[in-house]
Structure 1
Amino acid sequence: MFLIIKGRGETLNMNWINTLLKDQMSFPKRLLTMYMDLGLNERDVMVILQIHRYQQEGNDFPTPNELAQFLSFSEQDCSQVLRKLIQKGYLTIEQSTGSDQVINESYSLFVLWEKLTEDPEESYETNNQSDDQPNLFVLFEQEFGRPLSPFEIETVNIWIDEDQQEPALIKAALREAVLMGKLNFKYIDRILREWKKKGIRTVQQAREASKSFRSQQGSSSNQETYQKRNRDSSIYYNWLEEDE
């Protein structure tokens, strides 16, 4: 019979290990086996993991800077990952009003968790069907000349998911805003709402409505301002005549 005698240092180590093992958080194991089927990579998963950790610790809306403090990549890289997750619809931004009437924002991973309950083949097909959607965000970023903010990406997702706007019609509204020299999300949203109110559902109908508006308004000073902008946007300037 052998006696195992533990020294004081070993006992302290065991106490630390026990404490470490108790300091855990719940995380879906299936994400670690399915993330590639969802079009995600290791960086995306690490950002998701950090968001989940922050939320369990009481921070529902961690900034890219806060996320980057515990990752091996930069704040800018974190921002890119956040935009990607929002573009894919896995990460959403929710707003709530507190008792002090202050609007609070928080990230939600509910759609991602819901996605993990689907059949892997179904998730792969759905992910492939949405391949054209990121092109819409790229188009917005090219036209605005900067990356979109998470709130702006969420706005585009709302147009698609909640308002049921076709991506082609959203592109048309973007082009209309560029043509009018009013490149901002509020103006684009107003265009889409106006078209929806008038029953405009296709790009061709949007073209006809825009042509009719211009014929009534005559030569627009905003259009002249647009022509003077120092960049090549002829693809937008001629959108009224281009094919669908």
Structure 2
Amino acid sequence: MSYSQIVSDQIAVSKLLINQYHKLGMNEQQLVILLHIYISKINGVHFPTPEEISENMTITTEECSRHLRNLIQLGYLQIEEDETSGKLKEMYSLESLWEKIYKEPEKIENKEEAQIGEMFRRFEQEFGRPLSPFEIERINSWIDEEKYSIELIYAALREAVLMSKLNFNYIDRILIDWVKKGVRSLAQAKETSKSFHEHKNTESKPSQNKPNRKKLYYNWLDE
């Protein structure tokens, strides 16, 4: 392939989309789906099917369809009707996505700042004291460097509280362990924690003289 062919094969991708997608509540698979739709529209295919999109990804057609529905529900993807050719056709529109990224960045930042401020207050409430500068920096590193979601950090905090191991090192180990297992959402964290505690409970046989009391490690899973 010649250099000119390589250059002509490039596309312009929004830096804001790459940097802001997680703040908009999207995951990496949904981001790639949007990029595939964007590329398809450039190539003149305005309504690629889930089959066509998933062929270039590591997800199934059903998973792709579910992500597409979710993106539409979030308001980042729209289906419009086009009659310019004299024939009614459906097409994807990314206008609402660009509007949210380029016209509402301050709202996104303000919302995130409010959520982070609430997180600091929640930690101080659980610890029963003000956070130290080191602890504040630790939380900031989870968000800015490790890219942990706020809901995942909340879940790790709750797990530490219910395990009576309320310290930052323990919370950090929970987050690291979850990420190693591919846990990125609150639902996945709940399921992983539930499976862990159920496994621990089956390993410890109840004493014949003592009643087998139900542990309360993961009551938060049912909230």
Scaled by the length of structure 2, what TM-score is found? 0.46
Scaled by the length of structure 1, what TM-score is found? 0.42
Q: Which has the larger radius of gyration?
A: 1
